[in-house]
C-alpha cells in the first residue's frame, strides 16, 4: 500500500510541476523544494550500492515515477537552484546511479535517457 501511495503522490507532484506556470511555481516555498530534494537523495543514494540495481538496472515503478517527477520539476529554476545546491547535488547523485549500474538489460537504457534528459534540463 505504501508503494501505491508513493506512486500516486509522485504522479500528482509531477502533474503540478509540469502544468504550473513559473509565477505559480514560485509560490512553492523553498523549504518544500528542499524537502523533495532530500527525499530524492534518500531514495536514490542507497540504490548506488544496491545489488539489484547494479546488476539489472531495473527500478521499482515508484522510483521510475519519481524520476519522471524530477524531470517536470527541472523545468522550474527555483527547483534547479535547490537540486544543484551542494547539500543535495542531485546531478551528482544521478551520475553515481548511472555509473553504478553494470547490467546490460534494456530498462537501464531507458533510464539513462531519462537521466540525460534531466541532466540537460538542470544544467
Measure the CA–CA gap between 120 and 123, rounded to whole angstroms. 5
Sole residue written with cell 534540463: 121
Question: Which domain, by its residues, includes 65?
Answer: 2-122
Sole residue written with cell 509565477: 23
What are the residue ranges in the chain where pLDDT is below 50? Answer: 1
Cβ(59)–Cβ(66) under 8 Å?
no
pLDDT of residue 1: 42
pLDDT of residue 61: 84
pLDDT of residue 97: 85
pLDDT of residue 117: 65
Using one digit for the tens of pLDDT, what is the confidence trace for 9-41?
Answer: 999 999 999 999 999 999 999 999 999 999 999
Looking at the 3D structure of the chain, how many domains does it have? 1
Residue 59 exposed, middle or buried by CB count within 10 Å (0-12, 13-18, 19+): buried
Per-residue burial over 98-114, b if 16 or more Cβ lie within 10 Å, else e, is beebeeeeeebeebeeb
Amino acid at each position: 500500500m505504501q508503494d501505491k501511495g508513493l506512486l500516486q503522490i509522485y504522479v500528482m507532484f509531477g502533474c503540478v510541476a509540469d502544468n504550473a506556470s513559473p509565477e505559480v511555481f514560485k509560490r512553492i516555498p523553498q523549504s518544500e523544494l528542499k524537502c523533495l530534494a532530500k527525499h530524492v537523495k534518500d531514495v536514490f543514494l542507497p540504490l548506488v550500492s544496491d545489488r539489484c540495481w547494479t546488476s539489472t538496472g531495473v527500478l521499482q515503478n515508484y522510483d521510475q515515477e519519481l524520476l519522471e517527477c524530477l524531470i517536470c520539476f527541472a523545468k522550474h529554476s527555483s527547483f534547479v537552484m535547490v537540486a544543484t545546491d551542494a547539500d543535495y547535488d542531485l546531478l551528482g547523485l544521478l551520475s553515481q546511479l548511472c555509473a553504478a549500474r553494470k547490467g546490460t538489460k534494456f530498462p537501464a537504457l531507458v533510464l539513462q535517457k531519462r537521466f540525460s534528459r534531466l541532466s540537460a534540463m538542470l544544467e
